Structure 1
């Protein structure tokens, strides 16, 4: 029998080492694709979203593995290549300091990297960078008096699409930094509460408690798409708000979101299968934030019943096993971004998928997981997201129970 997943943290560590070897270029002092892949904005360089996911994985890993700590500073330094110092935000692409293609959701993830790096190292420079960026993020609140939909965080510096990921991720960043700057904590907590209150009132579907994607400030009709990460980031923020305020309002929201996140009848599960084989069908870059949200829920809310904790444990463990068994390249141990077991390597489909799922779905690859010739191709985002799937999953499932597959 092939080796099984036993230690999610060790699996994540191996992935970080793998993508660092593959993509970090010492000469360029940045992540560099040898061959253009998903997340590149030219032949070699990556958009800041991909960089942020990978850097967060490095910092997550350094919390547990001392040998990863020397990677934190070169990783965090990459962000300076993307900074617009006049605006104090970070653009999607490297620039000379004057680019305004700035997305608040990307920058919220950058801020999280910086604040977590401070937490792991104690280097105050990272805290100062994170604080400056959080202050910039807070300027993205929609204060347009003529907006048809009031409030919410803008998605982009010049595009006032009010979306769930930005609003919740900014709330998360505010709550992160509040822990380390007590004299400013109330300001950050209050802003985070304003974000999540808006999120629930405007973007939560009351029928299933999932979080819808967003709404343009000039419109009132919500984009009803429901991604896993929008629920996950909102859950993280709501649970943390309960932890710092002990207001039962936030606990009720978090309880409902957590229940929805593991309800196999909701939209973001693939419901083409019987209940026992359903799975979250978004990419790993979204799933990692749902797993983090469920882990944060168990961390911040001690009153969670044992039965609920067990259900979350079992659901995360099941997804970790599926991700390991179906999306890991049998040759180099790295991962593509898909979470759908039929959209994987052909040899994995022909053996594991057919054995476990039968011929329910045909084999294919997602466009983001293949090169121009249609062959499987890995990318920086896939490496960072895969590492975070396992690091965050290990907070709930530190050791995977033996299984047959």
Structure 2
């Protein structure tokens, strides 16, 4: 069995994780046993729920039979909401919990707005608008900050990070399409976010995006994750599509080229060039793939010569590797790893040793195992489905 239709694989993953985790009686996702992403024995953090529900909505855009899952999926978020602050907490609560992360909520907002786009149901737009307005209140205005501007990570922690800033920009641009009389407010805010991101967090040497900095500090976290490039790329490409300002195209061109440069930080460079791969987990990589897909959508034929073809090949290569190494044929679900040696033991022995020469020893990541046995989770299911749905926007048919 091999991968040929990424959209169909995404559909199968959504179907499988919904049947495994969704509990109709409790109206939420419930883990059969504690796994990665659980904050107690069986309930998932809102970030995992957001990724899973986004995957459902992505799938429903292509497969109408998934549309009945959208309403119960969006309704899960009610259990996490603080109605006083209008944000969504990391855990289910009675309505007063303040453990609210702006990056998580930006992904919740995106799921709501995509649900509106797919179904036309105004309640999803209303929910998304309320949440986007909440997100915009997370801009750092601390007068004593050493690092001015940027989006805060948490309502009580002014760590200014790339994912929150770019994901909020993405949500703003998403909603700008649906409320014309408010569009300029959202577009201007998104532009402010990406201006800050490039000025403060982009490394000019490789064009990657640093993770962030505390507002009271000038010591940056220099870790450069795939999703920070992907989300910034999505926003920059969308800004160019809306404004036609060439500065956004240059930013998007640089980010797209950086995202597939096999010599940069987030590739595993312990291998020769032909075998290098994005080494982040699937829940990060899915946003890089989305960013590359958005770049091709919004910049398209104006991209530098040869770059679209290189993007297509890089996405195709990673889809194949992810399918071949991380899919469990017994249940059609995926672990979260993107590293071929951190896979099932039988796959390591039969595929990795042959393809990669046994260069690295076998071992599952902690988030992908229970004891020494592989362990699936909701985040892994949602992220895997999105890898394929977003990948299909770049490579609708996979040949290898």
TM-score (norm 1): 0.98
**1:192 match:** 190
Secondary structure of 1:243 counterpart: helix
| Structure-1 separation of matches of 2:93 and 2:321 | 39
**1:213 match:** 211
| Structure-2 separation of matches of 1:265 and 1:232 | 17
| Structure-2 separation of matches of 1:67 and 1:15 | 14
| Structure-2 separation of matches of 1:365 and 1:306 | 40
**1:334 match:** 333
The aligned runs of 1:219-258 (5 Å cut-off) are 219-258=217-256
| Structure-1 separation of matches of 2:168 and 2:196 | 13
Which residue of 3, 6, 14 corresponds with 1:5? 3
Query: Could you tell me how far 1:359 is from its partner in structure 2?
Result: 1.6
Instruction: Please list the CA deviations of residues 101-160 of structure 1 after superposition, one character each: whole Å capped at 9, or x if unmatched.
Output: 000000000000000000000000000000000000000000011101000000000000
**2:75 match:** 77
Please say if 1:319 is aligned against 2:296: no
Query: Could you tell me how far 1:306 is from its partner in structure 2?
Result: 5.0
Instruction: Please list the CA deviations of residues 227-283 of structure 1 after superposition, one character each: whole Å capped at 9, or x if unmatched.
Output: 000000000000000000000010000000000000000000000000000000000
Secondary structure of 2:160 counterpart: strand
**2:128 match:** 130
| Structure-2 separation of matches of 1:332 and 1:141 | 43
Secondary structure of 1:288 counterpart: helix
| Structure-2 separation of matches of 1:215 and 1:393 | 31
Query: Could you tell me how far 1:37 is from its partner in structure 2?
Result: 0.3
Two-structure CA RMSD over aligned residues (Å)? 0.5
Unaligned segments of structure 2, at least 5 residues: none
Secondary structure of 2:153 counterpart: coil
| Structure-2 separation of matches of 1:256 and 1:400 | 26
Secondary structure of 1:198 counterpart: helix
Instruction: Please list the CA deviations of residues 166-208 of structure 1 after superposition, one character each: whole Å capped at 9, or x if unmatched.
Output: 0000000000000000000000000000000000000000000
**2:53 match:** 55
**2:357 match:** 358
| Structure-1 separation of matches of 2:24 and 2:73 | 11
- Go from structure 1 to structure 2 and tell me whether the alpha carbon gap of 1:70 and 1:306 turns closer, same or farther (over 3 Å shift): farther
| Structure-2 separation of matches of 1:352 and 1:11 | 21
**2:170 match:** 172
**2:379 match:** 381
Query: Could you tell me how far 1:330 is from its partner in structure 2?
Result: 2.5
Please say if 1:391 is aligned against 2:389: yes
Unaligned segments of structure 1, at least 5 residues: none
TM-score (norm 2): 0.99
After TM superposition, what 4+ stretches of structure 1 lie above 6 angstroms from structure 2? none
**Retained in 1: the 8 A contact 2:253–2:304?**
no
The aligned runs of 1:108-127 (5 Å cut-off) are 108-127=106-125
Query: Could you tell me how far 1:34 is from its partner in structure 2?
Result: 1.0
The aligned runs of 1:18-33 (5 Å cut-off) are 18-33=16-31
**1:293 match:** 291
Query: Could you tell me how far 1:300 is from its partner in structure 2?
Result: 0.4
The aligned runs of 1:264-279 (5 Å cut-off) are 264-279=262-277
**2:348 match:** 349
| Structure-2 separation of matches of 1:138 and 1:240 | 18
Count of residues in Structure 1 that have an aligned counterpart in Structure 2: 399
**1:104 match:** 102
Secondary structure of 1:160 counterpart: strand
Query: Could you tell me how far 1:57 is from its partner in structure 2?
Result: 0.1
